[in-house]
Amino acid sequence: MTAIPPTASGSSAPIPELLEAEQNRSLAMLTAFKRFNPSTFKGDVKDPWLMEAWLSAMEALFEDIYTLEKDKVRLAAHCLEGSARAWWTRVKNGRSLDPASMTWEAFRELLLMEYFSESDKRKIKEDFCKLRQGNRTVWEYEREFSHMVNCVPGLVHGDRDRAVVFECGLRLKIFKIFHALRLKTFEDVLDRALWVEHGNTIAREKREAYERDKDKEKSKKRPAGGSAGQSSSKLHPR
């Protein structure tokens, strides 16, 4: 009976081949990522909104190109420049955790800790408690709401809580229409709020068009009293 070499009998390839395959895969992923000209983060100014916008841009690109969790931190690190690059070098050299195994959420939290001061967090927590839609559109309200939630972990606890808090801040006219539906997810609440707002906009435009048409009809039926009065005054001067 012929003996089967260990490398052939096992389900995995020899370690050097696995390493080479992983290196080729990683390089192909990096090449595809850079093709989209991802935005960079320098960190020269500690502006939490700039940082949050960069993180959101990264996450959107990750979704678009179907990025694996294990690739996210490595790809994002390629976009760090200036003081942010120096910060990442310190993190890699000073932490016991291997950056190669770091999750995206852990990386995000580290950035928030570095570039988001406690005073900024306190201010956002205070503003979040008072946040309401007011005269803004649903999209404008959602953008500020999500910025705050993304920047300060713990403002909401899970998707259901996020949906409830967002719903309570909506303009009363919108809130009343679908509050009784008891929607369960943030996505459902946002979609329904946008739908209601769109319907209200169409109804308002139709009402305004109807009023304009009524005014035009009235002006057509109105007698030309001004010209008649003018000719009468000429015939009978005082």
**Interval 207-234: pLDDT, tens:** 766 566 566 666 766 665 554 444 444 4
Name which of 220, 216, 164, 156 is nearest 189 in CA terms.
164
Helices and strands, number each (H, E), in the chain:
12, 0
Judged by DSSP in three states, 80 sits in strand
Residues 6+ apart with CB under 8 A from 10: none
Half-sphere exposure of 36 (CA within 13 A, CB side): 18
pLDDT at 54 over 60: yes
Pick from 62-76, 189-203, 214-228 the range whose average pLDDT is largest: 62-76
For residues 137 and 193, give the distance between their C-alpha atoms in angstroms, rounded to a whole number.
Answer: 10
Spatial separation of the C-alpha atoms in residues 156 and 167, rounded to whole Å? 13
Phi, psi of 193 (to 5 degrees): -65, -40
pTM for the model stands at 0.56
Lowest mean pLDDT among 17-21, 106-110, 170-174: 17-21
